[in-house]
Amino acid sequence: MGQILSNPVIDKEHHSGEDVLTAFGLCAMQGWRMSMEDSHIVEPNVMSVKDKDHIAFYTIFDGHGGAGVAQFAGEKVASILKQQKSFQDGNLSQALIDTFLATDEELLKDPILKNDHSGCTATSILISQLQRLLVCGNSGDSRTVLSTGGIAKAMSYDHKPTLASEKSRIIAADGFVEMDRVNGNLALSRAIGDFEFKSNDTLGPYEQIVTCVPDIIEHKLNYDNDEFIILACDGIWDCLTSQECVDLIHYGIKKGDMTLNEISSRIIDVCCSPTTEGTGIGCDNMSITIVALLKEGENISQWFDRIRAKNYDRPISFELKRKVIYNYYEFKDDKTIFDITTKKPQERFHQDVTARMDADDLEDDSMEVDDTDADENNEDGKKKQNGIAGTALGAYPIEAFLGNGISLTTGADNNTYITGNLSDMLASFKKVAAEGGQVSLVDDVEDEVKDAEEEKKVDDVTKEEEESK
């Protein structure tokens, strides 16, 4: 699964747009991974004004081994596509093949990236208004799916080393497949970059252990049946089948109050793991683009009306699907089921404490959480009668400081105390203070810790005296 964080990075990147051919909504999130290695292209029209055709270009790049190649691809591939003669001649299938090959060539010209061990998968589509044609080029295990008549149609196939066609090429190039990975390392068999697997000088780019050459699938558009296209990285497809993803989007459309952007965001909420203690799925970077296929003269609002009018009955919801994916995890209720991606860690801690108080029917006013400004500025408000759980230090609930060996414990007197290594505690407090820009917070915390130490010393002395008697 690779290295993961103690809490997911839930800041989402959103993009949306509309023109005469397509409309789109994109959402991308780093999640539990140590860094974000996905990138994307959303170009509703890559043609110049003087050109007769109108061509949309969408791509998802999923990086591995680092973000370098994926970032390069996200920034450069659109311009590389437009330079290809095949693209200028209107041969879209060949244009995608030429573009992927040319991207590898451009990477090798870069003095840094040619020695970069990272790579990226790519799933790309070109949509031609003049040809009424959808073309997908795919290299790796990201995936493109078309919803046609409410049914998921595969526009790409995942390139895994265990596939007979992929394995035969790998072995013919003096590679091997071990533990379902290329040379025991790479979990996919086609990618841009990854030059350590493309070093056989006697073979062409099509024949290398790992090739960037995409598989191509063409689809003649029928706007009465064809509804939208999904492009997503394997972080999404690890959690959902192609049909399940289509069904969820139709569910979001039918709700009547969600944009494509909001639907794509909610699908990431569905897929992101609520914990790192499970099977490992849902802990990857996640990116998804939903592309609406607009009829001539149709805007996005009319498109939504047209798709809703089909009245598909989907026995699914965002909440239900999340419960099915993570059936080992006990969610509290549907209201909090998406908290892991919609609330910051300190907000979740604060909510958990409040919920526990409500559940226990606590009637002691000294234990109630008070968020008023007056209480934040009251020193007595920082030291409740029954311990410190549920109070705030600076602008943060005390639960925001927990983790890394620091915890809350309940003593025999039913009071709640912070416990843990003193140096770890102060380091955690100072880190949160620095991030929040509140210098005075550390002083408050140190006072709390000193008080706790003094109380512990008194307790230890008392205990020793009792034992000596």
Q: For the chain, list the domains and their CATH numbers.
A: 4-325 (3.60.40.10), 343-468 (no CATH)
pLDDT mean over 1-28: 92
Q: pLDDT at residue 132 above 60?
A: yes
Higher pLDDT, 389 or 209: 209
Sign of CA dihedral 360, 362, 367, 369: positive
pLDDT value, residue 385 = 35
Long-range contacts made by residues 320-328, C-beta under 8 angstroms, separation at least 24?
321/240, 321/244, 321/248, 321/270, 322/269, 322/270, 325/239, 325/240, 325/270, 325/271, 325/281, 325/282, 326/273, 326/274, 326/278, 326/282, 328/278, 328/279
How confident is the model over 396-451, as pLDDT tens digits? Answer: 444 444 444 455 555 555 565 566 555 555 555 555 454 444 444 445 545 555 66
Percentage of the residues of the chain whose pLDDT score is greater than 90: 68
Mean predicted confidence (pLDDT) in 219-240:
97
Judging by DSSP bridges, how do beta strands 226-232 and 286-293 pair with one another?
A: antiparallel
Residue 379 CA from chain centroid, whole number: 41
> pLDDT tens digits, residue range 379-395?
343 333 333 444 444 44
- Asked whether residue 354 carries a pLDDT value surpassing 90, the answer given is no
Q: How far is CA 389 from CA 349, 352, 417, in A?
A: 11, 11, 7
| CA-based nearest residue to 42, from 54, 28, 56, 63 | 56
- Which pLDDT score, from 0 to 100, does residue 135 have? 98
Q: Does residue 316 have a pLDDT over 60?
A: yes
Q: What is the pTM of this model?
A: 0.75
Q: Is the pLDDT of residue 254 over 70?
A: yes
Torsion on CA atoms 244, 248, 251, 252, rounded to nearest 10: -170
pLDDT value at residue 383:
36
pLDDT at 373 over 50: no
Give the residue with greater pLDDT, 53 vs 452.
53
Which of these ranges, 18-27, 254-263, 281-290, 419-428, has the smallest mean pLDDT? 419-428
Answer yes or no: are the C-beta atoms of 62 and 288 closer than 8 Å: no
pLDDT at 371: 39
Three-state DSSP state, 115: helix
Cα torsion 442, 447, 453, 459: sign: negative
Closest CA relative to residue 22, chosen from 270, 299, 220: 299
* Res 461: pLDDT: 54
Handedness of CA 384, 388, 393, 398 (dihedral sign): negative
∠ CA 140-29-141 to the nearest 5 degrees?
10
Mean pLDDT within 331-350: 84
Q: Which residue has the higher pLDDT, 379 or 52?
A: 52
Position with higher pLDDT, 144 vs 384: 144
Give the pLDDT band of residue 345 (cuts 50, 70, 90): confident
**Averaged over 200-211, what is the pLDDT?**
94
Residue 317, sorted as left (phi over 0), alpha (psi -120 to 50) or beta, turns out to be: beta
pLDDT at 3: 80
Q: In whole numbers, what is the pLDDT of the chain averaged over residues?
A: 83
- Report pLDDT for 200: 92
